[in-house]
Structure 1
């Protein structure tokens, strides 16, 4: 007998529901019965698609990073690598705002206690950082960033943007220093900190903002 085929739309729905339950109600809300009920399906859907709840929890992490990679993949490499880098930062933030529940699971903001996540699961999405490392390399080669370790630069940029996004999702950034205001200033500061001159950094960051809708297909969250 051939294995039962799974519907990718059902998988995505179950993942989103489980992530929402985990973020909103905690790990006690995670059960095959509850997830299936929220999806309007039977518990068999959880077992058919993921082999059980532990598989569903792992899939939340994998799916979260897959969606981040999908955003990153839309950022084209251009003759202005600093603008490309700023747009990667915007893509990171946009993914988090679009998928806040998955974002919380990806980085431990929602702890799936009782379900096993190993180190490999936690580090699953680190390959997405390769896109940022490649862009940092181009920034260095173009003389826009100081010579140095592109991977270290990528990590510094990642941790900085991640920190802002985490505060934004927690609704800590309010007027007059709301997330949009802080984020624009942060992008410029990060590029200058990496070695770019202020005038060029401002120009590139502004350019990245105009590319947001055309390349990522999303409106600017700050407009």
Structure 2
């Protein structure tokens, strides 16, 4: 490497900053790289270069890349759990809450496509380590969701299927829409608010009509 290149590379390094902010920068950069290149393709050097810090500085925040991936997955699932918990606790009708939970899930995926693909994009070349720490959070999210579907079932408001089958169908359908939209940006999709409304109207009118 030439002397000029070395000087340029060093000049691109960021000065020491607030630890919390730097940690967040690392997580955001790593998330992009994990999605684009898979777990094996992502390296500490690539992540450090993306943030503009040295590999040594990055190791001050994370022991290795598995720790980075672990925290990304936990952070992502915690956001969804917080939304589900808040919506489920509202005093609104169960169908209204169910729609709000499905809408929040889809919007969350649209707003955070990299994190969504990282956690739920099973077709991406990311190691199974991505699921470390998310199993419990994911189970809590689904349990809360199923409880609201169960309220409709107990009230005789499900058109067909039992609670578990309806919950799985609703989740799978919404996941499919989000996964396609965020993983195929080259497609000329209809406006997202329109896709979201059509998906939820069709699902709920078919399975849990008002």
TM-score, normalised via structure 2 length? 0.74
Match of 2:24 in 1: 12
Q: Is the CA contact 1:93–1:161 (under 8 Å) kept in the aligned structure 2?
A: yes
Quote the residue 1:66 is aligned against. Answer: 78
1:138 to 101, 126, 151: 151
1:58 to partner: Cα distance = 2.3
- Given that 1:164 and 1:179 are in contact with CA atoms closer than 8 Å, whether structure 2 keeps it comes out as no
Q: Is contact 2:48-2:55 (8 Å) kept?
A: yes
The alignment of Structure 1 onto Structure 2 pairs a total of residues equal to: 189
The answer to whether the 8 Å contact 2:34/2:126 transfers is yes
Counterpart CA distance in 2 for 1:109 and 1:140 is 33
1:183 partnered with 2:196: yes
Q: Is the 8 A contact 1:46 1:52 kept in 2?
A: no
State the match for 2:166 in structure 1: 153
Distance 2:114 2:92 in 1: 35
Alignment correspondent of 2:64 = 52
Where in structure 1 are there 5+ consecutive unaligned residues? 1-5, 201-223
The answer to whether the aligner puts 1:32 opposite 2:44 as a matched pair is: yes
Structure with larger Rg: 2
> Any conservation in 1 of the 2:103–2:200 contact (CA below 8 Å)?
no
CA distance in 1 between counterparts of 2:151 and 2:133 reads 30
Rate the CA distance shift 1:172–1:36 in 2: closer, same or farther, 3 A: closer
Structure 2 unaligned segments of length 5 or more: list them: 1-17
State whether residues 73 and 130 of structure 2, in contact with CA within 8 Å, keep that contact through their aligned partners in structure 1. no
CA contact 1:32–1:43 (8 Å) conserved in 2: yes
2:100 is aligned, of 87, 101, 107, to: 87
CA offset at residue 118 of structure 1? 7.0
* SS state at 1:111 partner: coil
Give the aligned partner of residue 111 of structure 1: 125
Encode CA deviations 1:56-84: one digit per residue, 9 max, x unaligned.
12222222212222332342423311111
Q: Distance in 2 between matches of 1:173 and 1:78?
A: 39
- 1:54-113: CA deviations, max 9, x gaps? 221222222221222233234242331111111111111111112111111102343225
What is the distance in 1 between the residues matched to 2:199 and 2:101?
Answer: 13
